Structure 1
Amino acid sequence: MSMFDVEDVPIRSERTPHPMSDVDRALTSQLVVAWAGETGEERGLGWWRSDLVSEYGGEDLFRRLLPGTWRWAVLQGAREAARRKDAELRRHDYDPDRIVSLFSLGFELDERIEERFHDLKRSGRAPDEALPGLAVVSDGWCRDQFWDWVIGHGETGAVASPIGRRLKGSPPIALDLRVRKLVAGLAPSADTYPLPHYMRAS
């Protein structure tokens, strides 16, 4: 084969295998935390300045604009607000690309979770039907219920860092365990988003 034939060679792009159930669990965790962190009318934890999931906030607007997918749209908006706050805090580190957090699990995983979100949004199913784990948010905001959900993810060791809570050790390879540890790192409660995170080896 000559150098001129290189373009004809198929490029193999292999993704690390992660069960779809783990991808769904990661997405569910992002949506629950995004919902809980809102500031609006039904004041949650006040970690980001958004009011998208309350009845007279974003819900009212999206019901009129997007009657078929408004439930997904309000969660998507809250998730974007959370993702931006997460990114803002990570940028304070000298090497933000090394940080693994709930909203920055790694380029490939972030891409897969985003694709999964859009697939579910197009499916015609309601969020709590497509992602049963969202049942924790179905009855409206309840601080105790949210923290019970966080504590149910187990315990994880963490130390304070300039940008948040650095979890000890390396990020677990298994997506499910990685997400469980990052959610567990939200406890104890804090007035501002504590950014539980791992530092990836350089």
Structure 2
Amino acid sequence: MLPELLGQHAGRGDFSMSEANATTETVLSSAPLAREIDALLTAQLIVAWAGESGTSDDLTTKRLGWWRTNLVGDGAEYELQELLPNTWRWVMFQSVREAARLHDAAVRSKDHDPDRLLTLFSLGFAIDEKVEDRLRQLKLAATDPREALPQLGEAIADGWNKNAFASWTSSFGKESFTDVPAGRRLKGKPPQNLGELTSRLVAGLSPIAGSYPMPHFRRDA
């Protein structure tokens, strides 16, 4: 399961963080492992998919509606298959992830110092760039996303189920938080390991809310 994957620190290799700058990258104690980047990307895609509106007139496919998109699994793939036969699945997930990222940025903007907030979709320039690079790499390889990221495949295999999504988020643990204008501020300092940081941000999505709750840590200036 993804919580187990996030908890493992041995991986296929390290990503260099030489380009990180001291202002934006002080949260991690060491460079993230490749498997941690994959786990973060997987979590982002699952949350982005779950946060879509889905089909509003079909209760079996209607999702959380945190962002007003309906890109994955509602017929849009047929047009994309014709236009992009090798990468259409990645284009769908890439698009809904971007919708989630933009919504996350809008919620962060409610804080007086949004650059200090660490969220699932905003973890500082270096980490965000590593995730983008990995997404581009997987897209170019044209591997089915469900095979390239098996935990993503498991999450979406049976279609949308709110209870199943809630069980997935709660499987990462329970977080204490304070409600603030910019979402849920998680208690304590952000973990210095990317796997643990990702796990706690996903856990902070529980309980599931009617609007995107944006669990986040506030890092020191």
Query: Could you tell me the TM-score, scaled by structure 1's length?
Result: 0.90
Unmatched 5+ residue regions in structure 1? 1-11
Question: Where does structure 1 differ by over 6 angstroms across 4 or more consecutive aligned residues?
Answer: none
AA at the equivalent of 2:72: V
AA at the equivalent of 2:137: D
Aligned partner of residue 178 in structure 2, secondary structure:
strand
2:51 corresponds to 1:33: no
Which among 86, 90, 104 is matched to residue 122 of structure 2? 104
Change in Cα spacing, 1:88 to 1:14, as seen in structure 2 (3 Å) is closer
Q: Which residue of 1 aligns with 2:131?
A: 113
Aligned partner of residue 186 in structure 1, secondary structure:
coil
Instruction: Output the aligned Cα RMSD.
Output: 1.4
Distance of 1:180 and 1:174 partners within structure 2: 10
Which among 130, 134, 146 is matched to residue 148 of structure 2? 130
- 2:190–2:197 Cα contact (<8 Å) kept: yes
Query: Could you tell me the TM-score, scaled by structure 2's length?
Result: 0.83
AA at the equivalent of 1:38: E
For residues 80-114 of structure 1, give each alpha carbon's deviation from its aligned partner in whole angstroms, at most 9, with x where no partner exists: 11001000000111101000000001111000001
Distance of 1:148 and 1:65 partners within structure 2: 36
AA at the equivalent of 1:37: G
Distance of 1:88 and 1:78 partners within structure 2: 15
Q: Which residue of 2 aligns with 1:43?
A: 62
Distance of 1:98 and 1:143 partners within structure 2: 31
Which among 79, 84, 99 is matched to residue 66 of structure 1? 84
Distance of 1:90 and 1:59 partners within structure 2: 31
2:91 corresponds to 1:77: no
2:196 corresponds to 1:162: no
Q: How many residues align?
A: 190
Unmatched 5+ residue regions in structure 2? 1-16, 21-29, 56-60
For residues 41-73 of structure 1, give each alpha carbon's deviation from its aligned partner in whole angstroms, at most 9, with x where no partner exists: 1221000000000232x3233222211111111
Identity of aligned residues (%): 47
Considering only CA atoms, is the larger Rg found in Structure 1 or Structure 2?
A: 1
Distance of 1:104 and 1:187 partners within structure 2: 19
Of 160-169 and 63-72, deviating more is 63-72
